Amino acid sequence: MLENFNQFKERLTEEKNRIEMELRKIASQDSEGDYKAEFEDYGREREDNASEVENYTANLGVTESLERELEKIILALKKIENGTYGKCEKCQKDIPEKRLEVYPAAPHCVECQ
């Protein structure tokens, strides 16, 4: 089906590296490999505390979103390695190459999405 496995693998690997770099800026990785948003200490003043909480809340949402996307990319890379990349997880039909070009980590065809 897919003729461009290497291109998809390269794009997924680049995106994985980019996301991991972004996560390292705002989060730390625990021993299980999960990322936890950093809580920065700006000081003891009320305004500092408000900024800390605001920043942490924003970083928490971004961290969770990036980690979810990273998991999808890692799964897609594993599928490339085991020969199941490009198959819909629900119906097992081929995912159109045009869809994978737009979103290489797509786990489902358009119909099942």
Instruction: Indicate whether 92 belongs to any domain.
Output: no
Task: Give the pLDDT means over successive 10-residue stretches in the chain (113 positions).
Answer: 79 96 86 71 59 72 92 96 93 94 94 89
Distance CA 104, CA 100 (A): 4
- Please write the tens of the pLDDT for every residue from 87-105: 999 999 999 999 999 999 9
Domains held by the chain: number: 1
Retrieve residue 98's tokens.
Answer: 């045009």
Q: What is the signed CA dihedral for 55, 56, 62, 68, rounded to 10 degrees?
A: 180
**Stated pTM of the model:** 0.80
pLDDT of residue 18: 97
Residue 94 phi/psi, 5-degree rounding, is -65, 135
Give the span between the Cα atoms of 20 and 27, in whole angstroms.
Answer: 10
Domain ranges, residue 30: 5-86
